[in-house]
Amino acid sequence: MHRFHFLIVAILAVLVCDLHAEDAAKPKPISKNGPNWHAVKPNLPDSIELHSKVECSHPGDFSVQLEIYVPKAEGTYPAILLIHGGGWKQRQIEADRPLAERLALRGYVVTQVAYRLSTDAKYPAALHDCKAALRFMRAHAKEYKIDPTRIGCAGGSAGGHLSGLMGMTGDVRSLEGEGGSPGQSTALKACVVMAGGMDLVKANEPKNNEGTIQFIGPISEKRDLYVEASPISHVSSKSPPTLFIEGEKDTLKIGRAEMQDKLRAAGVPTELITLKDAPHPYWMSQPWLDETAKAIGDWFDKYVKG
């Protein structure tokens, strides 16, 4: 009887663990008394045209593709490169579409990039693909109604890390990669980081995160790359104005405060917005999606559009 009871408990434990693993990327209510949340599905506005699966680069056998949201009204628009999260190893383009749609309605051309995941290639492949996407946006600016002098970058989680790295390494030749549209600048007018780690060394010592090992390699062997891949390592007076948005209940904030100190010391505008009760990843769900879109839009209106 005891053995039977033990077997039932063990089976239930496995089922619970499987359910938890399946839902790991989904935001959770903070408590029974916390705010209700619901995921948001894409709903392309009639005023926005979507150009889907546009190839911007072709490293090896991989096709780096873009989703480009363009306002239908005549004119030239500032632009946003939106970089998805997923621990560098999962494709989360679909989950970020509602945010892209809202930013496009603010009067921006919004480009989502499907960069190489860590299952395809290790760092710096993802960074190189993001830079190739930005160069493509400038090279094809007229085709997609983009003002090439007014482009910002935003991303969440792993995409937040890549957004911060893009912002801090604009036109750093050694990090450009060999992707499409050579000769175009990768400098940005402004940057938004949502729940992304800015110091990979501090985040992985003494315990090396498995996702970061898959992305870069073991820190014991690749410490120089952990330094290079940390946005905080590249802060300078040339860094763009950078907004950090965090959920109150999120934990992926390592290096953010220290990076803001470095930005301020370099004379670079930076601010922090903390969303009450918000978990990770808050920008995919209401009630935080609209608040996030407004914060990003306001920042870019000031430093990109303005």
Looking at residue 232, its pLDDT comes to 98
Q: Is residue 180 part of a domain?
A: yes
Q: Is residue 189 part of a domain?
A: yes
Domains: count for the chain: 1
Q: Is residue 136 part of a domain?
A: yes
List all residues 6 or more positions away from 28 whose beta carbon is below 8 Å from its beta carbon.
279
Per the structure, the complete domain to which residue 124 belongs is given by 46-305
In single-letter form, the type of residue at position 222 comes to K
Mean pLDDT for 195-207 is 96
Looking at residue 253, its pLDDT comes to 84
Looking at residue 156, its pLDDT comes to 97
Tell me the pLDDT of the chain averaged across its residues. Answer: 90
Q: Is residue 161 part of a domain?
A: yes
Band (pLDDT 50/70/90 cuts) for residue 283 is: very high
CA distance 64 to 115: 6
* 71-75: long-range pairs with CB below 8 Å, 24+: 71/47, 71/104, 71/107, 71/108, 71/109, 71/145, 72/47, 72/48, 73/47, 75/145
Q: If residue 244 lies in a helix (H) or strand (E), which one and from where to where?
A: strand 242-247
In single-letter form, the type of residue at position 86 comes to G
Looking at residue 35, its pLDDT comes to 58
Mean pLDDT for 273-280 is 94
Q: Is residue 4 part of a domain?
A: no
Q: Is residue 198 part of a domain?
A: yes
Looking at residue 13, its pLDDT comes to 39
Q: Are strands 64-71 and 109-114 parallel, antiparallel or unpaired?
A: antiparallel
Quickly list DSSP for 2-21.
HHHHHHHHHHHHHHHHHHHH
Q: How does pLDDT run across 15-68, given as a tens digit for each residue?
A: 333 333 333 344 444 443 445 788 899 999 999 999 999 999 999 999 999 999
Looking at residue 111, its pLDDT comes to 98
Q: How far is CA 66 from CA 36, 48, 54, 202, 303, in A?
A: 33, 16, 5, 32, 24
Looking at residue 294, its pLDDT comes to 98
CA distance 228 to 222: 10
| pTM of the entire predicted model | 0.88
- The enclosing domain of 104 has a CATH number of 3.40.50.1820
Q: Is residue 130 part of a domain?
A: yes
- In DSSP terms, 285 is beta-bridged to 39
CA distance 201 to 111: 30
Band (pLDDT 50/70/90 cuts) for residue 299 is: very high
Q: Is residue 297 part of a domain?
A: yes
